[in-house]
């Protein structure tokens, strides 16, 4: 019984130690701010870098068996709608720059691959599985979320809804 109480106390202390507690984002919630760098070293800050643009935020890792195919599907949607102002970022969770660069080269997507080596951004967004994709409108409000595998038509529908 004392062991159980001790473990419970340690859990509470561990949970309290985070500067940014995990969130569960829902439609209508503001998208959390973040700062990081792209794989090419370019600094990226949300919302400043994407102010006034609808944004698709994709969380991924190279070991995710669905991520490569879906990132190619997102690429097609991005190419069709980038002239309308659609922005897409691919935030890698927990991997280093070399791994991210190799994967991006292999898969061949043109939107920015961003680093989140310690998964701080993923925690702020409440990511619990990969892939996870958020659809954020031009005012910074979450308008859609996909956890797990989805096809190109689903990405297209969600992305186009950001323009309404």
Q: What is the pLDDT of residues 84-101, one digit of tens each?
A: 999 999 999 999 999 999
Q: Which helix (H) or strand (E) holds 132?
A: strand 132-136
* Average pLDDT of every residue of the chain: 88
Smallest CA-to-CA distance from 134 within 58, 37, 83 is with 58
Residue 10 scores a pLDDT above 80: no
- What burial class does residue 120 get, using C-beta atoms within 10 Å of its C-beta: 0-12 exposed, 13-18 middle, 19+ buried? middle
Backbone angles phi, psi at 97, to 5 degrees: -55, -45
Report the alpha-carbon distance of residue 51 to residue 46 in Å, rounded.
Answer: 8
Residue 7 scores a pLDDT above 90: no
Residue 81 scores a pLDDT above 70: yes
Angle 146-22-113 (CA atoms, 0-180°, nearest 5)?
55
Q: Tell the CATH superfamily of the 22-161 domain.
A: Glutaredoxin (3.40.30.10)
Residue 117 scores a pLDDT above 90: yes
């Amino acid at each position: 019984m004392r062991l159980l109480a001790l473990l419970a106390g340690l859990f509470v202390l561990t949970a309290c130690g985070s500067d940014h507690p995990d969130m569960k984002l829902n439609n209508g919630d503001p998208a959390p701010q973040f700062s990081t760098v792209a794989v090419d070293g370019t600094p990226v800050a949300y919302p400043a870098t994407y102010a006034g643009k609808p944004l698709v935020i994709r969380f991924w890792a190279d070991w995710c068996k669905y991520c490569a195919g879906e990132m190619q599907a997102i690429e097609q949607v991005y190419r069709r709608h980038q002239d309308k102002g659609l922005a897409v970022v691919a935030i890698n969770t927990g991997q280093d720059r070399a791994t991210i660069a190799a994967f991006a080269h292999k898969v061949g997507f043109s939107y920015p691959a961003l680093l989140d080596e310690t998964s701080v951004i993923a925690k702020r967004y409440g990511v619990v599985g990969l892939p996870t994709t958020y659809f954020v409108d031009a005012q910074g409000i979450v308008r859609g979320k996909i956890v797990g595998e989805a096809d190109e038509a689903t990405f297209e529908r969600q992305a186009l809804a950001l323009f309404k």
